[in-house]
């Protein structure tokens, strides 16, 4: 691949013995000498350090200092309730297109004077252009090229970070905060892509190597590559853009109804008003022909992306296809995500996947495959 990019931590990955693969235009570590299985299980039991600096960090602020105007601009592009999103909180959302499809899924944080949007690496330039085109006349759009992104995930992540600053202990799932870490101002969110408790840290690129090396001095922390990142997110039932989500698929087909917030739905205080709203709200009311589901294969062989699904072992017409699949290190069995006809998307329904010319049984199940462990703030 020509013009392939490297993150500021490339030399550190190389020194740690990483095996690299091209991903979203970057040369990224897929695994280290410990291997994907051990990296995965270590993240579930201790703390794993991920370099996710390839992802896009976009800062959006009002050119006129108009907070309400900024909210209105962003709500034109995504179906979430940003007025309800308090300062120092974030939520999951997505950019939609005229067909109701998903241009990208993202995390958006209210930073008070501005919003910070974390987008997928493969879509960050498109997202930046989309924001510029749609709201650039009213908003300042900045793609932050001078900041890197680390994720420390796992049950011991907070314990590791609290050694440097006690502020980490006071954060809950989806909180965002500016925290000084080793003398560096970091933008921190208590979130991640593994289903575990953990943090994502936006760090000036000039400081990220020193901070990553410091984290790796802890016996509880191991570097984790893209291989385990994928198996961890699959166990948590989280979507991968380009596999489970794309510009053709709508959020309702993707079973992301919950991310279309109540006030933006039919009858809501701010009904619609986002791109593709008629299609998406119509599907919310009337349903869809297809739906994203979780599958448990009955045999030990993983059923991976692209495998066709059938209603019976003898059927000739496909009723869907697998979009993500692999072996679950936690459950010690294969798991998959798929799109199937909605009338077949009932729990315990049995289907058949075609793998190398052989029909293999699968069962529709519920998500997540592995229970999430976020630190949720309980209501008093």
pLDDT (tens digit per residue) in 150-207: 999 999 999 999 999 999 999 999 999 999 999 999 999 999 999 999 999 999 999 9
* 38 and 153 together in one domain: yes
* 155 and 217 together in one domain: yes
At 79, list the tokens.
């179906």
In a domain, 379, yes or no: no
* 150 and 228 together in one domain: yes
* 45 and 166 together in one domain: yes
Burial letters 59-68, b for 16+ CB under 10 A, else e: bbbbeeeeee
Angle at CA of residue 120, ends 114 and 233, nearest 5°: 115
Instruction: Give the model's confidence band at 378: pLDDT under 50 very low, under 70 low, under 90 confident, else very high.
Output: confident
Please report, for the domain that includes residue 169, its CATH number. 3.30.1360.120
What does the pLDDT look like over 24-55, one tens digit per residue? 999 999 999 999 999 999 999 999 999 999 99
151 vs 188: CA distance, rounded Å = 10
Among 235, 268, 301, identify where a domain stops. Answer: 235
Q: Which of 104, 78, 106, 105 is nearest to 277 (CA)?
A: 78
Residue 208 has pLDDT above 60, yes or no: yes
Residue 2 has pLDDT above 90, yes or no: no
Among 190, 214, 235, identify where a domain stops. Answer: 235
* 27 and 165 together in one domain: yes
The phi and psi torsions of 129 (rounded to 5 degrees) equal: -65, -40
344 vs 351: CA distance, rounded Å = 9
Instruction: Give the model's confidence band at 68: pLDDT under 50 very low, under 70 low, under 90 confident, else very high.
Output: very high
141 vs 251: CA distance, rounded Å = 25
In a domain, 74, yes or no: no
Residue 324 has pLDDT above 60, yes or no: yes
In a domain, 350, yes or no: yes
- Which pLDDT belongs to residue 377? 87
pTM, to two decimals:
0.96
- Which pLDDT belongs to residue 89? 98
**Strand 47-51 and strand 221-223: pairing?**
parallel
In a domain, 250, yes or no: no
* 214 and 322 together in one domain: no
- Which pLDDT belongs to residue 1? 46
Please report, for the domain that includes residue 338, its CATH number. 2.40.30.110
* 180 and 311 together in one domain: no
Instruction: Give the model's confidence band at 108: pLDDT under 50 very low, under 70 low, under 90 confident, else very high.
Output: very high
At 136, list the tokens.
């650039």
At 107, list the tokens.
């995390």
* 50 and 169 together in one domain: yes
- Which pLDDT belongs to residue 3? 86
Q: Taking residues 370-378, report their average pLDDT.
A: 94
> How far from chain centre, in Å, is Cα 363?
25
- Which pLDDT belongs to residue 334? 98
* 42 and 164 together in one domain: yes
Domain extent, residue 43, equals 10-55+146-235
* 50 and 192 together in one domain: yes
Residue 379 has pLDDT above 80, yes or no: no
In a domain, 315, yes or no: yes
* 365 and 294 together in one domain: yes
Q: Taking residues 112-133, report their average pLDDT.
A: 98
Among 201, 235, 269, identify where a domain stops. Answer: 235
Place of tokens 């034109």: 76
Place of tokens 């919003």: 115
**Number of domains within the chain:** 2
What does the pLDDT look like over 75-102, one tens digit per residue? 999 999 999 999 999 999 999 999 999 9
* 228 and 160 together in one domain: yes
In a domain, 134, yes or no: no
In a domain, 349, yes or no: yes
In a domain, 35, yes or no: yes
3-state secondary structure labels for all residues of the chain: CCCCECCCCHHHHHHCCCEEEEECCEEEEEECCCCHHHHHHHHHHCEEEEECCCCEEEEEEECCCCHHHHHHHHHCCCCCCCCCCCCCEEEEEEEECCCCCEEEEEEEEECCCCEEEEECHHHHHHHHHHHHHHHCCCEEEEECCCEEEEEEECCCHHHHHHCCCHHHHHCCCCEEEEEEECCEEEEEECCCCCCCCEEEEEEEHHHHHHHHHHHCCCCCEEECCHHHHHHHHHHCCCCCECCCECCCCCCCCCCCHHHCCHHHCCCCCCCCCCCCHHHHHHHHHHCCCEEEEEEEECCCCCCCCCCEEECCCCCCCCCEEEEEEEEECCCCEEEEEEEEEHHHCCCCCEEEEEECCEEEEEEEECCCCCCCCCCCCCCC
With contact defined as beta carbons under 8 Å apart, do 75 and 270 qualify? yes
């Amino acid at each position: 691949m020509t013009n392939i990019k490297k993150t500021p931590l490339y030399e550190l990955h190389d020194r740690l013995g990483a095996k690299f693969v091209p991903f979203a235009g970057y040369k990224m570590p897929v695994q280290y000498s410990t291997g994907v299985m051990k990296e995965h299980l270590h993240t579930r039991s201790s703390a794993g350090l991920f370099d996710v600096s390839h992802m896009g960090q976009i800062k959006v602020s009002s050119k006129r200092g108009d907070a309400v105007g900024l909210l209105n601009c962003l709500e034109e592009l995504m179906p979430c309730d940003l007025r309800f999103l308090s300062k120092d909180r974030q939520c999951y959302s997505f950019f939609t297109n005229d067909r109701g499809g998903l241009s990208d899924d993202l995390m958006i944080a209210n930073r008070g004077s501005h919003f910070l949007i974390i987008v997928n690496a493969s879509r960050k330039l498109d997202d930046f252009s989309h924001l510029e085109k749609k709201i650039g006349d009213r908003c300042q759009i900045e793609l932050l090229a001078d900041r890197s992104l680390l994720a420390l995930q796992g049950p011991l992540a907070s314990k590791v970070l609290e050694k440097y600053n006690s502020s980490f202990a006071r954060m809950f799932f989806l909180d965002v905060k500016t925290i000084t870490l080793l003398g560096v101002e970091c933008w921190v969110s208590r979130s991640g892509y593994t289903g575990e408790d953990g943090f994502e840290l936006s760090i000036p690129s000039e400081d990220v190597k020193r901070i990553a090396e410091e984290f790796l001095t802890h016996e509880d922390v191991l570097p984790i590559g893209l291989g385990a990142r994928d198996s961890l997110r699959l166990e948590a039932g989280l979507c991968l853009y380009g596999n489970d989500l794309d510009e053709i698929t709508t959020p309702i087909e993707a079973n992301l109804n919950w991310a279309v917030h109540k006030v933006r739905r039919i009858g809501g205080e701010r009904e619609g008003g986002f791109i593709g709203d008629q299609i998406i709200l119509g599907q919310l009311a009337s349903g869809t022909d297809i739906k994203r589901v979780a599958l448990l294969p009955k045999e030990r062989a993983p059923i991976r992306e692209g495998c066709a699904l059938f209603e019976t072992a003898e059927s000739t017409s496909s009723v869907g296809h697998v979009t993500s699949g692999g072996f679950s290190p936690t459950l010690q069995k294969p798991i998959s995500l798929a799109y199937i006809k909605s009338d077949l998307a009932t729990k315990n329904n049995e289907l058949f996947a075609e793998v190398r010319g052989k029909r293999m049984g699968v069962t529709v199940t519920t998500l997540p495959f592995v229970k999430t462990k976020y630190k949720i703030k309980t209501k008093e």
